[in-house]
Structure 1
Amino acid sequence: MQAGQTSNTQGIDVSHYQGAIDWHKVKAAGKAFVFVKASEGSASQDENFSSNVQGAHAAGLLVGAYHFLTATSTAAAQAEAAHFVSVVQSVGVLELPLVMDCENNPSNVDRATINAIALAFLQDVERLSGRKPLVYTGNAFGQNFDAPLGTYNLWIARYSDGVPPEDTAAWKQWNFWQYSDAGQVDGISGKVDLNQFQGGLDLLQQYASAGSKAPDVAHPQSFAQQSAASASSSSSSTAAAQPVPTTVNYIHNGQTVHAAGLLIDNEDYVPLRELQSVFGFAVGFDAATKTATVDGHPLQDGHPLQDGRLIGDTTYVQAASLVTAFHGNLVWDNASKSLTVRQ
């Protein structure tokens, strides 16, 4: 994964273990965001959750919340998701994502079960909250997660600000990096976890205002124009046809990953974020030019992937353009509305 940058936005994460916090001192120390522990399991709530959220907001920090996952079955994961969302809703709207903290396996369940539990939790959090959550995990434990988890943004723990986290099957880059568990910050007695966000404060604010969907997969000008045009046409008597859900089968290095796509005006579209999680292409965002990039190349006029659609908070690109750009092939099955993309 990528290395940290001195220009990245700095933040912390806390729980009741940090005790009473002087949040104005934390802000003055240069911390712009915080993830606050909300809950654990299906019934426990962190005793300082509400006071930490209120204090951080009063000091002007951007706030997110995390849940420590203990489930050993998908049913238990769904129960924990419901508990987490209920706890978070009690404090109102948070700017940063809700987070699944999945970092150990004390019950020694197998890899497939780890993934099934994580997906059940994430999907229910998104369904109940209306926002796409974030995955927190450790550098080593992250190796347990398979490619489908890569559709969720990553907060990774590796305690070294000089050695970046390692690539996994699901992720080739991080959005947040917890690089120390022994930080010292004014306003907090004792140690606290230190984090950085991949980008400056302006990009973090965009991330927050986008409803927790990272802006590094957006093409603000053309996609925004298309979204506006779509909204305008849908309110007229000649509304455009609604996108049709499709199944996308990505085949890469002999492995098949199933995901969701869309059929729009008889053209197949696939989520841009999956270029990274499935094929390993580096999807990024140039804050200076407000332009998305794939493998360092901006998605501007003339780029093979310039034709994109912003649907909800997800950016889709034409499958045919994907194949052209990355020398693959695709097969469409109209009967099952299934697209196979092979590289």
Structure 2
Amino acid sequence: MSTVQGLDISACQTSVDFKKVKAAGYSFVILRLNEWDRNKRDIVKDSRFEEYYKAARAAGLMVGAYYFTYANTIDYVKYEAETAIGWLKGKQFEYPIWFDLEREQQFDQGKSFCDAAVNTFCQTLEKAGYYTGVYCSTFWYTKCVSEAVRERYACWIAEWSSKCSYKGSYGMWQNGTAYVDGVSGAVDHDYCYVDYPKIIKEKGLNGFIKPPVTEKILDKGSCYKLGETTVGALAVKELLRLAYAKGLVSIKVGDSKTYDAETVKAVGELQKKWGYKETGGAGVNFVRKLYKALL
């Protein structure tokens, strides 16, 4: 996948024309899912989330979401995750649902807390059918989250610089802010290097339905099958013995004068290796493909 550019947007961006964002060359937006209500002293849905979600989709932009965690206990992380699932329900997201970890009160509790917070939020969403990941800065992610946990989930790394210095694997990089036609004021800018839409849709996550698997059949016509003793069937066995000698197949076909069970298994192994349904029957296409492999 070629690198694509996107923006992360919240109610802080008071005016957004998503059609202009799309026209400016951006492929996706990551929308903030929540904010803190000081009066309620609790999390609430971002006041523009519903509006921006509908507008972004209408403009043809792909969408993800991020949840800014305010949790100082793992019980509250669990509450946040369950709340997030309720807000996400009924929508589709081509990009991951990101757990935004960036408060010093959380980092001050050390790796054990941060690891548990990440695992709790992400695994709760995974069980609900969402593709998740973690947003964090290079410094704090490296310092306060163990490598095992960092490599377990998709990573959206934040480092406002001309070059990302994060040593682990990451799929997105927030490199700073930009002024974009259609957005009021400066907005966070992101690069994405992973084809998340393809992964998410193929797995049937984030509100998408997993497409049915259509098995390819190499030979739909007549095939040599179990029990046959024709010259052609025995010729297939000879080709399979050559394939075994060259390391193309792991099953050694014997010298019997019939298309036996070992032959069926060896043919099936090659069919699977080539990306076809294992039928065990060898037809014209199988013979041609095996012959070319032996050359």
Structure 2 CA distance for partners of 1:111 and 1:69, relative to 1, 3 Å: same
Aligned match of 2:13 in 14, 18, 25? 18
CA distance in 2, matches of 1:18, 1:212: 31
CA RMSD of aligned residues (A): 2.9
Q: Distance in 2 between matches of 1:212 and 1:10?
A: 24
Q: 1:79 maps to what in 2? A: 79
When residues 64 and 21 of structure 1 are mapped into structure 2, their CA distance, relative to the original with a 3 A threshold, is same
The structure richer in helix per residue is: 2
Q: Any idea what SS the aligned residue of 1:10 has?
A: strand
Matched residue, 1:106:
105
SS at match of 1:54: helix
Q: Deviations over 1:118-153 (max 9, x none)?
A: 2111111112x3123111111111111113321111
Q: 1:210 aligns with which of 198, 202, 216?
A: 202
Q: In 2, are the aligned partners of 1:57 and 1:63 still within 8 Å (CA)?
A: yes
The residue number in structure 2 matching 1:174 is 170
For residue 105 of structure 1, report the CA deviation from its aligned partner: 2.4
Q: Structure 1 counterpart of 2:43, which letter? A: A
> Which amino acid counterpart does residue 106 of structure 1 have in structure 2?
Q
- Find the residue that maps to 2:65 and give its secondary structure: strand
> Aligned-pair distance for 1:165?
2.9
Q: Cα offset for 1:60?
A: 0.4
**Post-superposition CA distance 1:246-265 (Å, at most 9, x none):** xxxxxxxxxxxxxxxxxxxx
Structure 2: distance between partners of 1:92 and 1:132: 13
Higher strand residue share: 1
Amino acid at match of 1:134: G
1:141 corresponding residue in structure 2: 140
AA matched with 1:193: D
Tell me the TM-score normalized by structure 1: 0.55
1:9 to 1, 4, 9: 4
Query: 2:80 and 2:20 mapped to 1: Cα distance?
Result: 34
Cα distance between partner residues in 2 of 1:123 and 1:49: 23
The answer (yes or no) to whether the contact 2:96–2:196 under 8 Å persists in 1 is: no
Q: 5+ residue gaps in structure 2?
A: 37-41, 206-212, 218-272, 275-295
Shift of 1:212: 8.4
Summarize the Cα distance change of 1:26–1:208 in structure 2 as closer, same or farther, 3 Å threshold: farther
Assess if the C-alpha contact under 8 Å between 2:65 and 2:96 holds in 1.
yes
1:210 alignment partner, SS class: helix
* Letter paired with 2:101: C
Q: State the alpha-carbon separation in 2 of the partners of residues 211 and 16 from structure 1.
A: 31
**From 19, 30, 36, the counterpart of 1:35:** 30
2:72–2:105 Cα contact (<8 Å) kept:
no
Figure out how many residues of one structure are paired with residues of the other and give that number.
Answer: 207
Separation in 1 of the partners of 2:112 and 2:91? 35
* Identity rate, percent: 27
Q: 2:193 aligns with which of 191, 198, 203?
A: 198
> Residues 96 and 212 of structure 1 are in contact (CA less than 8 Å); yes or no, is this contact kept in structure 2?
no
TM-score (norm 2): 0.64
1:123 alignment counterpart = 123
| Structure 2 partner of 1:340 | none
2:159 and 2:216 map into 1 onto residues whose CA distance is 41
